Structures are given as C-alpha cells and as structure tokens.
Amino acid sequence: MKKYEYIFWDFDGTLVDTRKGTRESALYALKHFNKIVEQPENLENIFCGPPLKESFEKFNLNDEETKEAIRLYRKYQRENTIELSELFNGIKEMLELLDSMDKKLIIVTAKLESTVIKILKYLDIYKYFDLVVGASEDSSRTKKTEIISYAIDCFKNIDISKLLLKSIW
C-alpha cells in the first residue's frame, strides 16, 4: 500500500456537515435581493462546492449584486451559522489516528478561509491540521485549482506522489 505523507481534504461535505449553515446564509443573501426560493432545501446542493460567484449567478444577479450577495452570505455565515456545523461520524477519531501517524493534514476548500478556521476551532479539530487554505477575503483565490496550487506551494519540495486528495468534488 502506498504511504501518503500529505492528505488534502475538502471541507464541506467531507469532514464537516455545513449544509444547514450554507442554506441559511444563502437564503439570507438571496432574500436581500427579493429572490424567492421555492425549495430552500436545494440550496445546499447549489452552494456546497462551487465558488459562490457561480452559485449566485444561477439566480440572475448582475456582477454588482453578486459581489454584494457574496459579502452578505459570508458575513451572515461567519456571524450566525458556525454552531450549525457538525462533524461527520468518525472524523475526530480518524484525525487523531492520522495525527498519531505524523501525516500532514491540509484543508483545501472554496469556503472562506477565516470561516473554516472558526468552524474547526468550534468543533475542536483545528489542532489536527498543518495548513488550512480556503477562499481569500479579497477573492484573489476562489477556484479550487487555485486553492490546491497555493496549498502545494506552501510546502517546500513536496513529493506529489506522497499526496492524497480526499474530496467529494
């Protein structure tokens, strides 16, 4: 069996169930623009995964409205939904095991980096991660390819053959 040294994790839907907070944040931002969402439970499928810009564009928001919707979504999420996040069963035990094996654990996510860190601390698992890379506050890093590339660049002389990417993407 191949021995991986670096394990890159997606966040939403892989380690942590953030669907409730995602749905509430999206509803809050869309309500600001008087967008009626007939099936709010479907919002988690639209907003978990792709960059927020792509998700909000599905609601026919122009560029300025999309920027404002992203700002509102992130603000609401950071201030109101952290406690709605839940670890999936067995995640903490798995992280403890991997940590005891001296694996480098890295989160790569399109969610705002500062929000991810806040959730990880709330769930008491931040200590297991060597690096957390998410979308940047200034939106200069929002696509998953940019986020993964940035994370790889943070390690000197990383051996790609010893890297495992675990995700539901």
Cα–Cα distance measured from residue 119 to residue 114, given in angstroms and rounded to the nearest whole number: 9
Neighbours of 105 (CB within 10 A): 19
The answer to whether 112 touches 135, Cβ cutoff 8 Å, is yes
pLDDT at residue 74, as a whole number: 93
User: Cα dist. 36→27, 30, 50, 67, 125 in Å?
Assistant: 9, 8, 21, 19, 36
Q: What is the dihedral of CA 45, 49, 53, 59, to 10 degrees?
A: -10
Nearest Cα to 132, choosing from 114, 107, 111? 107
Q: pLDDT tens digits, the chain, 169 residues: what are they?
A: 468 888 999 998 899 999 999 999 999 999 999 998 989 988 988 998 778 889 999 999 999 999 999 999 999 999 999 999 999 999 999 999 999 999 999 999 988 899 999 999 999 999 999 999 998 888 788 788 899 889 999 988 887 777 777 654 4
- For 34: left if phi > 0, alpha if psi spans -120 to 50, otherwise beta; the answer is left
Taking the model in full, what pTM does it have? 0.86
pLDDT at residue 145, as a whole number: 86
Tallying the residues shown for the chain, one arrives at 169
Neighbours of 148 (CB within 10 A): 18
Beta pairing, strands 131-135 & 104-112: parallel
